[in-house]
A = this chain, B = another copy of it.
Amino acid sequence: MRNYAIGVDIGGSSAKIALVNRRARIIARASTPCDPRLPWRRVLRTIAAAAAGLGRRSNVRGVGVGCAGCIDVAKGVVHFSPNLPLWRAVPLKTFIEESLGLPCILDNDVNMMAVAESRYGAARGALNVCCLTVGTGVGGGLIFGGKLYRGQAMSAGELGHIQVEPQGWSCNCGNRGCLERYIGRDGLIRLARIAMRGKRSVLTHVGELTPVAIADAARLGDGVARAVWEKAGYYLGLGMVGIVNLLNPDVIVVGGGIGNAGNLLLNPARRIVRKRALQVPARHVRIVRAALGEDAGVIGAAAEVFARIKP
């Protein structure tokens, strides 16, 4: 009875929706466009309709929704979402509950990913886990003692705003030298442009400089591209030294589009952690790539339904 949950992962261009069982297996899935120019009601109505099509509601415990931005978890409100600039104070939980007649929980998308990776993915079985997503921006989710840690105002886990250069590049947040400025999409491309100056590299020939192009070039042995990942990994490693010394986690999981570069990014970061973090926590931490890929968001959202909504 009610052994299924619906997980929803709202992104900047589309929303993923999945019917998930208690073992985190995806039974059915759907995807809807998520046009940032449309009013939120229309977007959520489409999502609700797609969710309703996935299975018999009598078997479903509830709906879990992950969304980037500033989220009021208690009230189920999206205050602000960077990918959906028209969304302000959106009462998502209430709207979904009324549309589907099912209880709904809402959380930050990286928190949902952290739940998924720590329960079913790369950090399965670990109690204390830090998850980073490295893509356009750098986000984070923290699991302490097997549970999501949110902090006082639900804003904990801003791993992208660990400072790695006190007098470094300015960040939108008002500070300087935040990790996100160096290894987020724009930062990585900036590192590449700097590395390319006056150097021979296949990167000078690519149509558009993207993280994927830089990763491909590095895998082909391009020296400049390898140096870019080495530098990005250095900054990621500095950020991780702070995490390791402060939090002594079992596992640090790295996901997201740029995280997909895998060991190109993680190996230099691991070297910095071994060299610079305190010995005891450095010896005990595993630094691994996310295992659930694009499905982490919906799996985590469903897992939180089972954890927080009683049948």
Interface residues of chain A, those whose CB is within 8 Å of chain B, are 70, 126-128, 140, 142, 144-145, 149-159, 161-166, 173-176, 238, 241-243, 245-250, 275-281, 283-285
Minimum CB–CB distance for A160 against chain B, Å: 9
In the complex, are the beta carbons of A162 and B284 less than 8 A apart?
no
User: Given contacts A238-B166, A241-B163, A242-B242, are A151 and B277 in contact (CB under 8 A)?
Assistant: no
In the complex, are the beta carbons of B278 and A158 less than 8 A apart?
yes
Minimum CB–CB distance for A240 against chain B, Å: 11
Which residues of chain B are near A156, meaning CB under 8 Å? 246-248, 281
Which residues of chain B are near A154, meaning CB under 8 Å? 248
In the complex, are the beta carbons of B175 and A276 less than 8 A apart?
yes
Minimum CB–CB distance for A223 against chain B, Å: 24
Q: CA–CA, A157 to B244, complex, Å?
A: 9
Number of copies: 2
Which residues of chain B are near A155, meaning CB under 8 Å? 248, 278, 280-281, 284
Minimum CB–CB distance for A254 against chain B, Å: 16
Q: CA–CA, A276 to B70, complex, Å?
A: 19
Looking at A140, A145, A163, which has the most chain B CB atoms within 10 Å of its CB? A163
In the complex, are the beta carbons of A245 and B152 less than 8 A apart?
no
Q: Which of B161, B275, B280 is within 8 Å of A153, CB to CB?
A: B280
Q: Which of B173, B246, B277 is within 8 Å of A159, CB to CB?
A: B246
Q: Which of B151, B164, B165 is within 8 Å of A247, CB to CB?
A: B151
Q: Which 6 A-B pairs have the closest CB atoms?
A: A151-B248, A156-B248, A175-B276, A161-B245, A152-B250, A153-B284
Q: Which of B166, B245, B285 is within 8 Å of A164, CB to CB?
A: B166
Which residues of chain B are near A250, meaning CB under 8 Å? 152
Which residues of chain B are near A280, meaning CB under 8 Å? 70, 153, 155
Q: Which of B159, B174, B285 is within 8 Å of A152, CB to CB?
A: B285
In the complex, are the beta carbons of B278 and A242 less than 8 A apart?
no
Q: CA–CA, A152 to B251, complex, Å?
A: 9
In the complex, are the beta carbons of B275 and A174 less than 8 A apart?
yes
Which residues of chain B are near A70, meaning CB under 8 Å? 280
